[in-house]
Structure 1
Amino acid sequence: MDPKITSHDKAVLTRIFNPNLPYGDTYEEEENVGEHFEEVETDDIKEAKRLELEGVKAAEAGQVDKALELFSQAITVAPEHPSSYNNRAQALRLKGDIPGALTDLDKALELSKGQGKVACQAYTQRGLINRLQEKDNEAKCDLTHAAHLGGQFAKQLLVSMNPYAALCNQMLADVIGKLRTGEEME
């Protein structure tokens, strides 16, 4: 017997462990999904990360303008560091500057080569923006990318965008729950 897991086996396991994913919207997991964007941690990158941390604290304290300033400083110090663009995009979105946020998210995705945690967050943010702008096809594409990168929130958003599949998945979850507890089926 061949111990190799087939794509069908993976699909079944995905369905078991993620029952809320819509059936029509499942995806083939690629072998390189776990790869992460790697960046050499120079002194400039360390300084950018320090500035980002201060920016996040400022944003959490409601000081979005100060956060924007700190994220912009981080970008000036290390313009090839994708996380700074991702964080500034979030602050720009909070200020209502959607075009600016989208520009920064595109830059974060370019610099991260669409891999790793930063890309997952950027795809999720861009997907949310597209969803709010009723660009559902673009939102679904971005959220699917984020889901491929392990974004659980993106997976849940995909479910919410497909109410029929979510209803079917809920019915299936109810049946499985009844089977587990030994309840009678109607």
Structure 2
Amino acid sequence: MTRTPPTTVTRVRLWRWRRNPLRRHSDVVEAWIVLTTWVFAVLGGVLAGLAAAQSADAAFSARRAQVHAVAAVVTDDAARTQATGTGYDDGRVWVTVRWTDADGSVHTDRAKVPPGEPTGSRVTVWANRADRVVSAPVTGSAASLQSALTGVLVAPSAGAAVWCVGWMVRGRLIRRRLAEWDAEWRQIGPRWGNFSGGRG
């Protein structure tokens, strides 16, 4: 008994870009869709990441421009105030502080200071243009790091969005091609037996 040798299937790379009698126009269109999708996904992700990082940096700069540091005096005894000890607590306590502007106006507000600060001690707090105590702005390396992390998080999301759109377009093309194949088979299929019989 003669044993049939196994059939070896060789994968042809980039076959959609090569001229061959089996290549259809839709195959070329699909190849361009795949290439364009990857290019725009990479470029779109990089550009979106850079834009997000610049936007975050601009937001930090605008925040720094709206606040200023002031030397305030603690009017409460922070040593008598206990920290809440919750998971969101940074260990500092709320006390009343007072400071005087350059024009001589006196302001009072609540601020967080380290526990143990006695009454009359001087602390640095941040105030906005309405002379209300606000959280310290993000500056220096911390601002640069947060801007970079924002860009790193946005870049793959934007690239994935472009990739999904491209693959949706490709999916529609594939469904259209299958429909064309089905229509062609309905025309050729009934005549297939005649072709086989003619050879006999």
> Do they superpose with TM above 0.5?
no
The structure with the larger Rg is: 2
- Relative contact order higher in (CA < 8 Å, ≥ 6 apart): 2
- Higher percent of residues as helix: 1
TM-score normalised by the chain length of structure 2: 0.24
- Higher percent of residues as strand: 2
